[in-house]
Each structure stands twice: as C-alpha cells, then as structure tokens.
Amino acid sequence: MQRTDRLFELIQLLRRQGEPVPSTYLAAQLEVSQRTIYRDIVTLQSMRIPIEGEVGVGYVMADGYDLPPLNFGREEIEAIVVGLSLLSRTGDKTLQKAAQRVLSKIGTTKASSETLSVSDWGIEEIDPAIIGALRTAVREERKVEISYKDLAEIETSRKVLPLSITYYVRVAVLAAWCELRSDFRHFRIDRIERCNLSDDGFVGAGTKLREKLQDMETAKAGFEH
C-alpha cells in the first residue's frame, strides 16, 4: 500500500471508532509496524488532522471531522456506485475491499445503497494471493511462474508473461504469452494452483503483445463470421 493510501486508511479507521484506538490495532489493520503508525500519526497531525492521543494510550479522531467528497455529479456517482458494486461478482476480494475504500472517498450519500444494488451472483471466490500476484505482474510487466491444471487434471509448470485479466460471468481468465508453448495462451485463474512472481520482467513489451493478441483475435472472429 502506498503511503498516501495508508494515511487515508488510517484516517478512516479512526473515524469509525468512538474511543481511543491502540497503535497495535492500527498496525495490524494496515499490516505495518507500530513505529510506522507513530510516524503516520505525527504526519497527519502536522497536516492539522484532529487526532488526539499518545503512545501507550491510543488515538482518537475529534468528533465531526470528515473528508470532503470528491466533486462528481449525481449520475456520475450512481455510475461509480453500480460499477464498483459489480466487483462483488468477480470473486476478487482485494478489489472488492478497494472498491469500498473508493466509495468512502467519494461520499456515497448521494446514491443510497438502498436504491442502487447489484446481485453478488458470479465467480466463486478466487485465491487472493494468486489474483493479487497476477494483477501485480500485469501492472508491473513481470513474468510469473505458474502451476496450471487443465480440464483433464494434468498439471504443468509454465513461465508466462501476463497481459490482461478478464472477468467473465463464471470464471476469470488470464491472457498471457506462454514461454513453454511460444504462443499466446488463456488460463482459467481458478485452475492456477500456484503462482510466483519472477524477478524477470518484460517492461515495455506488454502493449505490443496485447496489440498483437487483439489483432489475432479480431482476425479469428472475422474468419469465423
């Protein structure tokens, strides 16, 4: 988590509590050390965020403090609420938690959850460690080593260049360049048994590979029609 995101999360944690919160609890929630919490509290206090307390006692947010909502129109807010709510269908718990953080940042009182709701029917929960590693690999253009079990239950080890993730109705699929096959391949993420980020990267090549894959898929669709 980036420091700016962590500071925002720290504010949100304190806002939700009505009594002093120990640094041990804050550190556990944000997955950082107590020393980091102490530094972050000092930083927020220097920004005139009304946080009171001290080491060994706990910290509390002054009553009435709130962050200003981002400036979106009513329909824009509704579109964001519905769009983020659809993440409940992806089976990706990490993205779902991120969506909740976004909703808290934009001030969703303009679009009540009682009037806008989305069914949570969709993909079964995906291993958060695997989907998290894959999203990181796509974003940072890093190769990954995966153990993949196909429909015949045959397991193989591959090193792939992750290019994109598509969330379908029932499954999530990784599009990648497979070094074993020297070709593009699609992998159902629920069939990836293990996934390890590699130190090897392909920075700068991702865009060209995605364009090539898109051209191939477009040509194939045209041929089938």
Secondary structure class of 196 (helix, strand, coil): strand
The tens place of each residue's pLDDT in the chain, 225 residues long, gives 678 888 888 988 888 777 889 999 999 999 899 999 999 999 999 988 889 987 788 999 887 676 655 566 677 777 888 888 888 889 998 898 888 877 776 665 544 555 777 777 888 888 999 999 999 999 999 999 999 999 899 999 999 999 999 999 889 999 999 999 999 999 999 999 999 999 999 999 999 999 999 999 888 876 665
Q: How far apart are CA 147 and CA 195, in angstroms?
A: 7
- Give pLDDT, residue 70: 57
Supply the pTM of this predicted model: 0.66
- Which residue ranges form the domains of the chain, and what is each CATH number? 3-61 (1.10.10.10), 68-121 (no CATH), 128-224 (2.30.30.520)
- Give pLDDT, residue 102: 79
Question: Measured on CA atoms in the order 44, 46, 51, 57, is the torsion positive or negative?
Answer: positive
Q: How far apart are CA 136 and CA 184, in angstroms?
A: 19
- Give pLDDT, residue 110: 47
- Give pLDDT, residue 213: 94
| Helix, strand and coil in the chain, % to nearest 5 | 45, 25, 30
- Give pLDDT, residue 71: 61
